[in-house]
Homo-oligomer: A and B are copies of this chain.
């Protein structure tokens, strides 16, 4: 009977859904955090792995995975997996796109509203008794009506996010992408700009691109300083898309900027990190896909991907190695 490793417990009843196979669920509370070395030492017998972004499936680990046929990644991104090694060794990779697009876009939208209107800061001060009474000049925020929105990476999530922004606040939409996105342009009367131009022109910049060699440190000291006065920057993509040290540098000099991050480098950040000391920054714990709906659907997909593969069918969300 083929063996499957699930690296963290998920909402779905995986033992039932994958009842035809032998499923091991890594139990962190009993066996501790699944480090690279632990993963290396246990991976050999498994034909399938249901993996998380936090599992380092690099060459060093995969060399031990003598029986591995499929990695069903419980996420849309898979920058934790050595795709080239998998290609050479005939290991199928699948992911969970689409089903988390709305949830992640919603999270970006929630961060935007939160930071624009000082929700978390003001709520925390209220809770702690630091708020003494209503003040005409207290906790002044930015209205989001009719602003200019700049989307970096107008894919599925970027499109959902733009729908929310334009639907609620009538934003004028600009985007940055390697290629022209005709559907996006038509849907939102959006205009494509060079990155520097986008940074200079928009009141809101939101990142929705995957992490690749091209997008690593895409935002850095050469372009972060171009941000408009009072601009809002949102990152729900990957921490590494922003050079985090450069971000800290600019934020220490410009307290007009507001930043909402669902992703950082690393995750979690040390509690004494500079970003936690800034009032104009909010950081959530990588909860882009954290709705009951999205996580249930992600669970359905990983189970179906593994089953399809073992039954000789091509999983619907198989990663095409041609893109790499």
Contacts and interface: CB of A to CB of B under 8 A. Distances in A.
Interface of A: 8-11, 33, 52-54, 74, 102-103, 106-107, 109-111, 113-114, 116-120, 122-129, 131-145, 163-169, 267-269, 271, 276, 282-287, 290-295, 298-299
Contacts of A298: 136
Given A107-B117, A163-B168, A286-B134, A102 B52 contact: no
A131 B268 CA distance: 7
21 contacts: A8-B136, A52-B136, A54-B133, A106-B144, A110-B114, A111-B119, A113-B113, A117-B290, A123-B282, A126-B269, A126-B285, A128-B271, A129-B268, A129-B271, A138-B290, A140-B292, A141-B291, A141-B292, A143-B292, A164-B167, A167-B167
A273 to B, nearest CB: 9
A38 B220 CA distance: 55
B290 A126 contact: no
Given A120-B124, A127-B271, A138-B287, 13 more contacts: A33-B133, A119-B120, A120-B120, A120-B123, A132-B268, A136-B299, A139-B287, A141-B290, A141-B291, A143-B293, A163-B168, A166-B167, A167-B168
Nearest to A129: B271
Contacts of A284: 119, 122-123, 126, 139
